[in-house]
């Protein structure tokens, strides 16, 4: 059975997920590569993609950031998914969203309509969103507010609707980035979000002379206070 939309939040990096049984999988779900026995993230991702309708279905999966950059078997599977033009977006979320773990996670969106013969075959870019600062702090857990969710959906839809231009890039410079295949290839198919979304904020330049003047003023005020204290103590002794 195939589905138009496949959505899941599988267990993160599940150990002993069934790799031995998967080697002889009768559905051939792991033809891009067999994930490592100790980390089942790409086992779930592969299963979900194979369960989506060819050239039409869409997949959204919540996963730990390790799936974006780990190498070996996972790196080869990730590269194949990108080369097959299935990956549509990577959305980085804040940490501490779940009651059982405080690690930050990402949503990976795959779009089978980007496959050869699909209606979106011509779209070759991958959309990156860094929403790691989009949250409301709670006593024990962070949450995504309506405004945060709206912003993520809005910029993703703008990408889907081909509304990206120079002005958009300036406005969303620290939040989102459209990466072409060659850029991802140059990064050795590493999808770590900071490689694509530059969130670095330059520190405000310090006016050394102003700081020096402030120090001198404070020292003068301190000297005045000490003088008053000395006079007060002398009066008390007398």
- Per-residue model confidence as pLDDT tens digits over 16-71: 999 999 999 999 999 999 999 999 999 999 999 999 999 999 999 999 999 999 99
DSSP track, 69-103: H--HHHHHHHHHHHHTT-EEEEEE--S--SSS---
Do 112 and 192 share a domain, yes or no?
A: yes
Q: Residue 66 in contact with residue 192, Cβ under 8 Å? A: no
Do 141 and 53 share a domain, yes or no?
A: yes
What residues make up the domain containing 56? 5-201
Do 71 and 144 share a domain, yes or no?
A: yes
Do 232 and 114 share a domain, yes or no?
A: no
Do 88 and 171 share a domain, yes or no?
A: yes
Name the pTM for this structure.
0.81
Q: What confidence tens digit (pLDDT) does each residue in 128-171 have?
A: 999 999 998 888 899 999 999 999 999 999 999 888 888 888 88
- The span from the CA of 111 to the CA of 94, in Å, is 24
Do 19 and 74 share a domain, yes or no?
A: yes
Do 214 and 190 share a domain, yes or no?
A: no
> Helices (H) and strands (E) in the chain — how many of each?
8, 6
Do 93 and 146 share a domain, yes or no?
A: yes
Do 167 and 65 share a domain, yes or no?
A: yes
Reference 69, options 190, 193, 196, 197; nearest CA is 190
Which pair of structure tokens corresponds to residue 44?
A: 């779930």
Do 215 and 133 share a domain, yes or no?
A: no
For residue 110, what is the domain's CATH number?
Answer: 3.40.50.150
pLDDT band at 181 (very low <50, low <70, confident <90, very high): very high
Do 187 and 105 share a domain, yes or no?
A: yes
How many domains, in total, are found in the chain? 2
Do 26 and 115 share a domain, yes or no?
A: yes
């Amino acid at each position: 059975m195939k589905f138009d939309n496949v959505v899941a939040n599988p267990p993160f990096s599940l150990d002993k997920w069934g790799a031995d049984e998967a080697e002889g999988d009768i559905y051939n779900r792991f033809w891009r590569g067999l994930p490592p026995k100790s980390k089942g993230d790409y086992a779930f991702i592969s299963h979900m993609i194979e369960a989506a309708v060819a050239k039409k279905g869409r997949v959204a999966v919540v996963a730990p950031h390790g799936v974006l950059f780990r190498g070996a078997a996972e790196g080869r599977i990730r590269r194949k998914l990108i080369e097959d033009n299935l990956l549509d977006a990577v959305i980085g979320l804040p940490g501490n969203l779940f009651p059982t773990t405080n690690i930050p996670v990402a949503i990976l969106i795959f779009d089978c309509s980007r496959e050869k013969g699909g209606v979106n075959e011509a779209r070759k870019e991958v959309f990156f969103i860094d929403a790691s600062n989009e949250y409301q702090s709670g006593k024990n857990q962070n949450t995504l507010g309506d405004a945060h969710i709206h912003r993520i959906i809005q910029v993703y839809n703008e990408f889907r609707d081909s509304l990206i231009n120079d002005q958009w890039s300036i406005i969303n410079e620290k939040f989102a980035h459209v990466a072409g295949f060659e850029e991802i290839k140059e990064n050795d198919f590493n999808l770590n979000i900071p490689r694509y979304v530059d969130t670095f904020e330059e520190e405000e330049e310090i006016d050394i002379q102003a700081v020096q003047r402030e120090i001198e003023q404070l020292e003068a005020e301190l000297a005045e206070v000490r003088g008053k204290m000395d006079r007060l103590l002398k009066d008390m002794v007398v």
